[in-house]
Each structure stands twice: as C-alpha cells, then as structure tokens.
Copies of this chain bind each other. A is one copy, B any other.
Amino acid sequence: MANHNIETPNNPSYRFAARALNSSHASHAAANDLVELSGGYAFPRCLPDISMEAGKAAAAHRTETMQYSDVLGLEELRDQIVDYVAADGIVCARDNVMVVNGAKHGLDLACRVFIEPGDAVIVTAPTYMTALSILRTHEADFWAIPQDEQGMQADVLEQRLAAAQSAGDKLPKLLFDVPDFHNPTGITTSLERRHELIRLARRFGFVIIEDDPYRRIRFEGEAVPPMKSLDESGVVIALGTASKILAPGMRIGWVIASASIIERMAAHKADGGTSPFNQRIFLELLAGNQVAHHIAAIIRQLRIHRDMMVDELRRHLPEASVHVPQGGYFLWVELPDDIDADMLAGLAIKKGVKTYSGRLSYPLEPSRNALRLCYSYEEPERIRQGVEALGEAFASLRTGEVDSSELEALADASLKLQTF
C-alpha cells in the first residue's frame, strides 16, 4: 500500500496557481510554557460555560442544528445581530446580515467579491497581520497609509487618490481598517476621520471594510459611532465576531452590507452554511443577555491586564513609548531607534516570553523598532513576569552581551511564529 506521507522522487511537481503561496499556517501558542503575549487569544478563565445551551441546541433544536442550513445564516440569529448592532447606531435589516465563520472569513469573502489580482487595497501601516495574509492570498497590492492619534491619515490618502486619479492610474478597490482599538496600535479612529474616509470612499469609488472585533471591549472613554452607522450610501461592509465577546471556538462572525453585496458574498460562501448548531447556541446566549454579562466580565478582567502591562512596561522598559488604549487586546510599544524589534522579540523568547515584532504588521516597508504586545491571554502575574523578561532581553540588547549571529538566528526564529 502506498505511503502518502513520504515525498518520493515519483511525486509530481504540482502546477500550483500563482496565488497558492507557500506560507506557513498559524501554530498554536503557549508551547514550552512561554509567557504568551503575542496572539489575540481569549482569557482562559473567561471562556464561557455553554454546556446548557449546547445541550438544548443539540436536543430540543435537533432538526435545525444537525441539518444543513441557509448559507446566509439562521433567520433568528440574523435578527439578533440586527438588534445587537442597533445598539451601536447601525440601522439595518435581516437582508443586510450574513453569518460567517468569524470576521476573517468575512474579509476573505469580500476579497473574492471585490479584488482581482493586482488590485490595490488601502490599509494603515501598521495593520492587522492576519488581514495582510488574507489579502496577500488574493494577490492584492497595498497602499500603506500612515496613522496618527486620530486614525488613518485621510489627508495623506486623499492626496494620493487625487494624484492617482489625475494620472489616470487604477484606483484602489477596498480600504481595510480596524477603527476601534486598532490592531496593533490600539488607536480609535476619531469621528471626523470616519466621516472623511466615507467621503473619500464615495468620491473615489472604493468600499470600506470596517473590521470591528474589539468595539465592546472598552475600559473607559466615549465610544465613537461605527463607520457603518454613518454610511448613507452603502460603501461600508461591517465585520463582527463572537470571538472577542464570547469565544473564538464558536467560529461565528457576521457581515453587514448592502443587500447586493451580501448576495454576491453568499455566492462565494462554499462552506455549506455556517454550523447551525453553533449559530443556535450563540443566538440563545445573545437573546438571553448572557453575552452582555460575559462582555462585562471580560472588560473587568482585561482592564486589570492592561493596567498591569502598562505599569510593568514603564518599570522594565522605561525607554519605550507605549500607546495606552482605552480598550481592546493590544499594546503597541515603540522602541528607541537603535533597538531592533526582531532581535528583541527573538531574545525575549529565550528569556521566556513570546511577543510579535511590529514588522509583521506592515504591508510594505516595515518599521524596525516596534512590538505588538497582547494582554488578553495571560493572568496578570504572568503578564508581570513576561514584561520583566522582556525588560531583561532589552537590557541584554543594550549592553551588547549577546553576539550578533545568535541575535539574528533568534530574530529569524521569532519571525516564523504566526498570528491572530
């Protein structure tokens, strides 16, 4: 019998498509007891106990939950999502909602509907690293627009769009952004900037993908209306997810867009419909208000995590500049110019803590000296230990006690770690 695990000399050299990048897949975190400050995992003690709802979905709703379901999702869940986003000021109807397997899946479907290979997508620099991976599988080109404390710099974008238009160049098809507690910087886009981006989308004919997983994880400050709530002409596709407000393992997300966009995205949803079992469980938890209680518990917990991380960074990396976000999962740590973040992240692993070099978040030319830290997964005491270990790595780099070839090997190893 043939053993398919062994690559033999007989093996064909497969004629892969151009878009079939040989990129490696995400590997699970928390190996080797490293302190996990990289991936955006849920806090384990806040993972919900859904056993009651799961049992009910499996038994009382069996003919719904074990069967095929509509590719758009359960009507009851779509209506619940209409209500959920109405609290943020988004007015929509069931026809504007499609259930998907997480927000990433929604982004992927939007790419299929809007991008041809070589089309440009506007993103902040830095931006969400996994969004970049997905966009790259669609052979997107990037327009990397800088960010300030108000969000994506709309004036810079407008100049570039106007110049491209004057020159008769092809204009971008999509803009991707995380306007609330941006990944990785934690910045929340201002109201004025949101209006500006919508104005540009209308003027230059691109569609905005508003990826908003962290919106409800707000520790303090005033929420800004979602771009989708300001969108009178259907240029915004809003992506939401159960991952950050309930549990990533549910793999439930949603897309809110004009009915004509939803219809085309549905035609590309080749998964036989998102699991109605998972949908029914999530819908019962939404309807029963358990999701709201769960969000409150996450906020209480993660505020402590954020504060611990900020305090410890000030103590152990006093030379670094930290943007303190009002919510979300991430801290963006800017290092002194002479510190190489790849090397720091590599050395930090040796000291026992896993972080991401900011380089992974850049679409084009990366900045060399920033780190993305995530405070969602670890207990506060482990966060303290992790930042202390990061401080030790920083001090070792400063004193030059590690030789440069070892540093480069460590940096390479750390860049191979992937993403959420």
Interface residues of chain A, those whose CB is within 8 Å of chain B, are 1-5, 7-8, 10-12, 14-28, 39, 41-42, 44, 47-51, 54-55, 57-59, 62-72, 89-93, 95-96, 101-102, 104-105, 107-108, 112-116, 119, 133-134, 137, 173, 202, 205, 207, 228-235, 243, 247-251, 256-261, 263-264, 266-278, 420
Contact = CB atoms under 8 A, between A and B. Distances in A.
29 contacts: A3-B91, A5-B92, A5-B259, A7-B259, A7-B260, A8-B233, A8-B234, A11-B258, A15-B205, A17-B113, A20-B264, A20-B268, A22-B267, A25-B70, A25-B267, A26-B68, A26-B70, A28-B70, A41-B68, A42-B67, A42-B68, A44-B67, A47-B67, A50-B58, A102-B271, A104-B271, A108-B271, A249-B277, A251-B271
Nearest to A279: B249
Contacts of A243: 68, 272
B267 A102 contact: no
Residue of A17, A21, A44, A205 with most chain B CB atoms under a 10 A cut-off: A17
Contacts of A113: 16-17, 20
Contacts of A92: 3-5
A112 B137 contact: yes
Contacts of A104: 270-272
Contacts of A69: 28, 249
A89 B1 CA distance: 8
B51 A16 contact: no
Contacts of A22: 263-264, 267
